[in-house]
Amino acid sequence: MEALSLTKTDWEERLAAWGQPAYRAAQVLEWIYQRRVRDWREMSNLPAVLRERLETEFPAARLVKIRETGARDTTRKFLFRLADGQLIESVLIPASPALYGEASDRRTICISSQVGCAYGCKFCASGLEGWKRNLTAGEIVDQFLQVEAESGEKINNIVFMGMGEPMANYDNLLRAIGILNAPWGVGVGARHMTVSTSGLVPRIRDLGEQPLQVRLAISFHGATDDVRGRIMPVNKKYPVEELLAACEDYVRLKKQRLTFEFILIRDINDSPEQARLLARQARRVNAKVNLIPYNTVEGLEWDRPDEVQQEAFLKILQQAGIEATLRREKVHDIAAACGQLRLQVEKSVAETPVLI
């Protein structure tokens, strides 16, 4: 395992096995997470032999930034290359009023959990080329550290809404959440982390039993099995009713509100009928609803409904007493949804015989 996948206990055990005194683990963790030093040779209060051993056992395998788009105060995307050459992306979002209200000092990182995705939702860039592999806990944690380092911004909110299905990489996800949350680690409050899932019912139940108060967002996208099943293959395995039952249990166990994400796709799920059914389901589990006009993905046929239709959908929810928001950004960002930047770069890499 690489250094960033290790918990405090892991470090204590490892360093004790190397004959080090008990306080070493805290020193190492302070260098990594508080001082943000990654070069073992710079850790000046560690004995030279230990630094050498760390260097041998944990050669730096950082994420390497190979592309960045956007600028300060806008959404910024970072494309990273992993040690084995695979590409993932992380997104830094300044304040996200559409998603989380008007809190203005909120800076959110959208983190990837896998390379590609096996769930193949018909509208999504991440699923287009299938699943390559799970990210390690360290690769998940490193996205946070690297985006803070690259941007110079302090990040106080985490959403697992990047590439991949976080619940399908459950063990590494929980390990990473533990490290991101720990006072000896990154120190982000669990309530400031949101796991988004396409609806893996057994994992929703598992997460419900975890003591951590992480938030849950459900990628709903269809209020009936017919509509949802058409765009999300996972719905065949875990249909709407089973998903809602798992949400009910989650809410009861956690005493926490969850969020339904609902991408508005023209002529697919944007009818008043879908809005009315969605309102009923959101009320049943007391969920908030985030409406997200679909972002076009190169190579996919889908589009977003016009603004009048988007507003009408929102109004039906609000009139039914549901707390709902609609993302209203005007420009179609060509690489706005996670997974799209990687896709573009992989295409251009495939077209040019030059290694990036």
What is the identity of the amino acid at 210? Q
Pairwise CA distance, residues 235 & 200, whole Å: 9
**Cβ closer to ligand SF4: 134 or 198?**
198
Pairwise CA distance, residues 49 & 37, whole Å: 18
- What residues between 76 and 115 interact with ligand SAH by CB under 6 A? none
At residue 26, what are phi and psi to the nearest 5 degrees? -65, -35
Pairwise CA distance, residues 228 & 15, whole Å: 50
Please tell me whether residue 219 binds ligand SF4 under the rule CB under 6 A. Answer: yes
Please tell me whether residue 120 binds ligand SF4 under the rule CB under 6 A. Answer: yes
Candidates 5-13, 120-128, 137-145, 293-301: pick the segment binding ligand SF4 (CB under 6 A): 120-128
Please tell me whether residue 295 binds ligand SAH under the rule CB under 6 A. Answer: yes
Pairwise CA distance, residues 233 & 222, whole Å: 12
At residue 81, what are phi and psi to the nearest 5 degrees? -100, 130
* Helical segments of 18-69, H only: 24-29, 48-57
Pairwise CA distance, residues 219 & 238, whole Å: 13
Active-site annotation holder among 2, 89, 139, 165: 89
When CB distances are held under 5 to 8 angstroms depending on the partner's kind, the choice from ligand SAH, ligand SF4, none that residue 127 binds is: ligand SF4
Site string for ligand SAH, 185-224 (x = CB under 6 A): -----------xxx--------------------x-----
| Total residues at interface with ligand SF4 (CB under 6 A) | 11
Maximum pairwise Cα distance, the chain? 68
Site string for ligand SF4, 130-169 (x = CB under 6 A): ----------------------------------xx----
- What residues between 248 and 277 interact with ligand SAH by CB under 6 A? 261, 263
When CB distances are held under 5 to 8 angstroms depending on the partner's kind, the choice from ligand SF4, ligand SAH, none that residue 345 binds is: none
Query: Which residue in 11, 80, 100, 119 binds ligand SF4 (CB under 6 A)?
Result: 119
**Length of the chain measured in residues:** 356
Pairwise CA distance, residues 270 & 146, whole Å: 38
H or E segment and range at residue 202: helix 201-209
**Cβ closer to ligand SF4: 121 or 326?**
121
Please tell me whether residue 165 binds ligand SAH under the rule CB under 6 A. Answer: yes
Q: Are 143 and 114 contacting, i.e. CB atoms less than 8 angstroms apart?
A: no
DSSP 8-state secondary structure symbol assigned to residue 41: G
Pairwise CA distance, residues 178 & 183, whole Å: 10
Query: Which residue in 181, 198, 235, 259 binds ligand SF4 (CB under 6 A)?
Result: 198
Please tell me whether residue 124 binds ligand SAH under the rule CB under 6 A. Answer: yes
- CB within 8 Å of 260: residues ≥ 6 apart: 217, 218, 220, 278, 281, 282, 287, 288, 289, 290
CB of 109 to ligand SF4, least distance (A): 16
Active-site residue flag, 89? yes
**Cβ closer to ligand SF4: 186 or 246?**
246
Please tell me whether residue 294 binds ligand SAH under the rule CB under 6 A. Answer: yes
Q: Which residues are catalytic, by number?
A: 89, 338
The residue ranges that bind ligand SAH (CB under 6 A) are 123-124, 161, 165, 196-198, 219, 261, 263, 292, 294-295, 297, 337
The residue ranges that bind ligand SF4 (CB under 6 A) are 117, 119-121, 124, 126-127, 164-165, 198, 219
